[in-house]
Chain A
Amino acid sequence: MPRLVRAHKSAHGIDGLVAARTLEAQSEAHVAEILKAADAAGEAVVPIGGGTLLGIGNRPRRFDIALVTKRLSALHVYDYRDLTIGVGAGMTVAKFSATLAQHRQFIPLDAPNASHATVGGTLAAGWLGPRRAAYGRARDLLIGTTTVLADGTIAHAGGRVVKNVSGYDLSKLYVGSLGTLGVIVSANFKTLPLPPQFRLAVAPLPEGTRERAAQHVQRLEIEPTAALLLDGFRDVLPFEIGPEGAIVLAFEGSPSVIERATRSTRSALGAAGVPATRIVDAAAHEMFARIVDAYVATVPGRSLTLRVLGLPGGALARENAAREALAPTPALLDAIVDLRNGDAILRVFVDGRIDPLAVRGTLSDAVAALRARLPEATLLARGLVLDGEIDAWGSPPEALEMMRGIKGRFDPRGTLAPGRLVGEI
């Protein structure tokens, strides 16, 4: 009999479905024990870190056990002079960042709600932060993993060194798998030296300036580490953002580089008809975190947030397409457009005057209208229960059958997060 450790009465619901029971993993071996038993008993297990990104993916077909990894939070090894670190998957992103900061290092996971989000959950959810064009995705900084498979097999991949081609790079497969192949229990990363200074440049956009401003931002002589256009999300920034939103640029580096970047940004945005660029230094980290939190911030009961990926050059066009698609519907739109990576984050919501009973239908129709233009839009966060009514994923990938084959080989009994991934994998 596996040790059954009951968690606090925190119901980790996924789209309205709540697990029959919640277990807190105590160790790698414990995870193996739980999975093996569940697999044999035909029980479905969904691994859960901080539960901050459960809005990604479909409602599981079955949900018997919520396996919470938060206690697997140990710092296993931090060779800061090697610029590598290994942690338990349940360490929070905030703790992870604080640990790294002690040695003036960082790993820009840029996960929302960092004080609750876990490292393992951020990996499993395939979180894509706004600084990835500058520093790499989580998958690019990940150098090794330990993962427990549905049958209890403990599988290592990669290692603790920064350069490694020894066997298949299975860690890549687990990133973004939403726990459908295995439960990540620990992860090793290469770390980056923390740049000496972090500055945000915030430019409210006057009428008719956004297209040109976006183009100028994409050609800046010093590249920002993040370049976002906030259109809506008026509560995120502590000042007026202009009729066409605001551009927020992050610059990181030495003081002289930051000064040069600021000068060239002011002149480029000035040439695009954007007169004022505010500088945020002391509060920059906090403000940046608020923006990242906004990616999954919901309007309770009234919003669905979708993400569309693509080339940076088409990012603004994707937001425009979303606005056009939603125009005939009662739905409203807040958007974050990532000018470096190309993502459009689209928070579709309705105002409070709509009959609460009609909200789900209205949003469902709005998402259908949006997907008619942007079929690849995937769900990122939800402010209401959908009961599986909307597929969280957009158009399926070409290699879906191959993915199904891999799922079948790793988890033949469908024990792990069944149905959560694209194509109901």
Chain B
Amino acid sequence: MTVVAERLVAALGPDAVHTDPEDLAVYAFDAYSENRLPTAAVVPKDVREVTQIVRIAADCNEPIVARGAGTGLCGGAVPTQGGIVISFSRLNRILWIDSANRRARVQSGLINLDLSKAAAHEGLFYAPDPSSQKASTLGGNVGTNAGGPHCLSYGTTTNHVIGLEFVDHRGEVVTVSQEDAGYDLTGILVGSEGTLGVVTAVEVRLLRLPEAVRVYLATFADVESASEAVSQIIGAGIVPTALEIMDKVITGAVEAAFHAGFPEDAGAVLLIETAGLADDMDGLELALARIAKGSGALSWRSARTQAECDNLWAARKGAAGAIGRLAPNYYIQDCTVPRTKLPEVMHRVDEIARDHRLVVGNVFHAGDGNLHPLLLFDRSRPRDVQAVADAGTEILDTCIAFGGTISGEHGIGYEKRESLTRLFSADDLATMGRVRDVLDPARRFNPDKIFPSSASCAEVRSPA
């Protein structure tokens, strides 16, 4: 056993520390393909143990990777330099729900959906709902500033996190809140992908459950015309709670898996949700249906019952999983463009896939301009792997060229860090590095993530 493992066992007990390679295998990767075994995986039961882990890691000069459920798609939880992985599977409690003030405080290992389930008893819900919400944790969501279909009207994780408790690089517990005077450290920690500290508890705001919810399904001949409808809806000043597009590749797979009733002959379906006061629902439906038809909708359907709505949503959220039916592997890209650019960008994505002789499926948060092209491939075929990598890069370049960004909600992680230089200047990145100089001077927290390798410590750190 290594020195670091011995010290962890001495501090936390043998049950909390894994060091056997077969036990470590599950901590070696996330939903991205990269993998590397950590030296040890630790499952602390309280915050004090997290502070001990951070101190031991500092003493032994080992990197630390905080891990939620490992659903991240960009290698953000992969221990690329080995070291200690901290799993939050035991720190998964709701600490309190204050329904009068619509707040909740939870441990960072709590599963996203469990919070909304608990809050529903009080007529409340937690708005950010990544498609992984049945598995992903609040701590992981904080790391990537997770979004989800409903952030179109409710905003992403950062808009709902009031405060955080985290363990800093010295192994001290620090509590920060948006309500503190001084700098908004909460705002910086959200989306920092575990590179600034280990978040142990999250205080969030909850929203009232809407009085009325309706879900509509419009079909179109192709993704471009569905995207055009989305642009028209937003341009008309209507912001539904969700605007999601799935193309024919996706609806075919989803229909086979969920039997949601998606028409399989359409080139694309647009899922629209409106939520709010009952008084507004009819007027909104009229306006939305008119725009959809004006943009060439082939059909329009309202989900009338809760069961119908749930069914459509289950199909949408399970889309990525259903793709397994079509190909052995898929690569999901995540980037955002200005919403009016969607039709052009989707057309370009289609061309890129064709150029590389790849099948692309599109399922995405159209209302936010957040694309998720899924490139289908077979990992055992080297040609496929290279084609996917090349196509992925071209899609990113396209999004940047149209004024967009390289990650809408999945994060930069390990996968996209080299691409960050396409978006930001050396000065921009060095400015981010200044924050890290203070919160993680030894670059111990989640190394190799977000920042490009070319901008190694020396470059990302601005001149002293």
Q: Verify if A235 is at the interface (C-beta below 8 Å from B).
A: no
List the B side residues contacting A84 at CB < 8 Å: 338
Task: Answer whether A160 and B403 are a contact pair too, CB < 8 Å, given A168-B435, A254-B280.
Answer: yes
Name 17 interchain pairs, CB-CB below 8 A, sorted by A. Answer: A81-B235, A156-B424, A156-B428, A162-B369, A167-B420, A167-B423, A168-B192, A168-B435, A172-B158, A172-B186, A193-B239, A254-B279, A257-B279, A399-B185, A400-B182, A403-B183, A406-B435
Chain B 180-212 interface mask (CB, 8 Å, partner A; 1/0): 111111111011100000000000000010010
List the B side residues contacting A136 at CB < 8 Å: 155, 159
The answer to whether A164 touches B435 (Cβ under 8 A) is: no
**Closest chain B residue to A157, Cβ basis:** B428
**Closest chain A residue to B410, Cβ basis:** A165
Using a CB-CB cutoff of 8 Å, which residues 397-413 of chain B contact chain A?
A: 403-412
How big is chain A's contact interface, by range? 35 or more
Cα distance A244–B191 when bound, in Å?
45
Cα distance A422–B365 when bound, in Å?
40
The answer to whether B234 touches A164 (Cβ under 8 A) is: no
Task: Answer whether A82 and B338 are a contact pair too, CB < 8 Å, given A163-B156, A175-B184, A193-B238.
Answer: yes
The answer to whether B339 touches A156 (Cβ under 8 A) is: no
List the B side residues contacting A104 at CB < 8 Å: 237
Q: How far is the CB of B415 from chain A (nearest CB, A)?
A: 12
**Closest chain A residue to B160, Cβ basis:** A140
- The interface-forming segment of B95-103, B215-223, B297-305, B349-357 is B95-103
The answer to whether B181 touches A163 (Cβ under 8 A) is: no
Task: Answer whether A161 and B183 are a contact pair too, CB < 8 Å, given A82-B339, A83-B234.
Answer: no
The answer to whether A163 touches B147 (Cβ under 8 A) is: yes
Chain A 340-355 interface mask (CB, 8 Å, partner B; 1/0): 0010000000000000
The answer to whether A105 touches B237 (Cβ under 8 A) is: yes
- Report the 3 A-B pairs with minimum CB-CB distance, sorted nearest first: A172-B187, A193-B237, A397-B180
Task: Answer whether A166 and B407 are a contact pair too, CB < 8 Å, given A176-B183, A260-B279, A409-B434.
Answer: yes
The answer to whether B182 touches A425 (Cβ under 8 A) is: yes
Chain B 327-341 interface mask (CB, 8 Å, partner A; 1/0): 000000000111110
Task: Answer whether A378 and B411 are a contact pair too, CB < 8 Å, given A160-B338, A169-B190.
Answer: no
List the B side residues contacting A79 at CB < 8 Å: 338, 340
Cα distance A52–B200 when bound, in Å?
39
The answer to whether B175 touches A398 (Cβ under 8 A) is: yes
Task: Answer whether A81 and B234 are a contact pair too, CB < 8 Å, given A167-B429, A399-B176.
Answer: yes
Task: Answer whether A423 and B182 are a contact pair too, CB < 8 Å, given A79-B338, A169-B188.
Answer: yes
The answer to whether B428 touches A161 (Cβ under 8 A) is: no
Cα distance A175–B182 when bound, in Å?
10
Q: How far is the CB of A60 from chain B (nearest CB, A)?
A: 16
Chain B 415-439 interface mask (CB, 8 Å, partner A; 1/0): 0000010011101111110111111
The answer to whether B428 touches A167 (Cβ under 8 A) is: yes
Question: In the complex, how many residue pairs between chain A and chain B have their CB atoms under 8 Å apart?
Answer: 215
Q: How far is the CB of A387 from chain B (nearest CB, A)?
A: 21
Cα distance A397–B182 when bound, in Å?
7
B residues contacting the other copy or chain, number (CB 8 A)? 79
The answer to whether B145 touches A165 (Cβ under 8 A) is: yes
List the A side residues contacting B337 at CB < 8 Å: 161
Having A257-B280, A398-B180, one finds 10 other A-B pairs with CB under 8 Å, namely A81-B234, A81-B235, A140-B158, A163-B408, A166-B405, A221-B211, A311-B101, A313-B100, A399-B174, A421-B181
Task: Answer whether A81 and B190 are a contact pair too, CB < 8 Å, given A140-B155, A421-B182.
Answer: no
Per a CB cutoff under 8 Å, which of B147, B283, B429, B434 touches A254? B283
A residues adjacent to B (C-beta < 8 A): 79-84, 104-105, 136, 139-140, 149, 153-157, 159-170, 172-173, 175-177, 181, 192-194, 218, 221-223, 253-254, 256-257, 260, 309-313, 342, 376, 378, 393-394, 396-400, 402-403, 405-406, 408-410, 421-423, 425
Per a CB cutoff under 8 Å, which of A177, A192, A408 touches B183? A177
List the A side residues contacting B186 at CB < 8 Å: 172
The answer to whether A164 touches B174 (Cβ under 8 A) is: no
Q: How far is the CB of B359 from chain A (nearest CB, A)?
A: 26
Q: How far is the CB of B197 from chain A (nearest CB, A)?
A: 10
Cα distance A406–B189 when bound, in Å?
13
Q: How far is the CB of B407 from chain A (nearest CB, A)?
A: 5
Q: Verify if B54 is at the interface (C-beta below 8 Å from A).
A: no
Q: Verify if B80 is at the interface (C-beta below 8 Å from A).
A: no
Q: How far is the CB of A400 from chain B (nearest CB, A)?
A: 7
List the B side residues contacting A394 at CB < 8 Å: 181
The answer to whether B425 touches A156 (Cβ under 8 A) is: yes
Q: Verify if B19 is at the interface (C-beta below 8 Å from A).
A: no
The answer to whether B181 touches A393 (Cβ under 8 A) is: yes
Chain B 372-401 interface mask (CB, 8 Å, partner A; 1/0): 000000000000000000000000000000
Cα distance A136–B153 when bound, in Å?
11
**Closest chain A residue to B173, Cβ basis:** A398
Pick from A159, A164, A193, A342 the residue with the most CB of B within 10 Å. A164
Pick from B101, B174, B187 the residue with the most CB of A within 10 Å. B187
List the B side residues contacting A376 at CB < 8 Å: 181
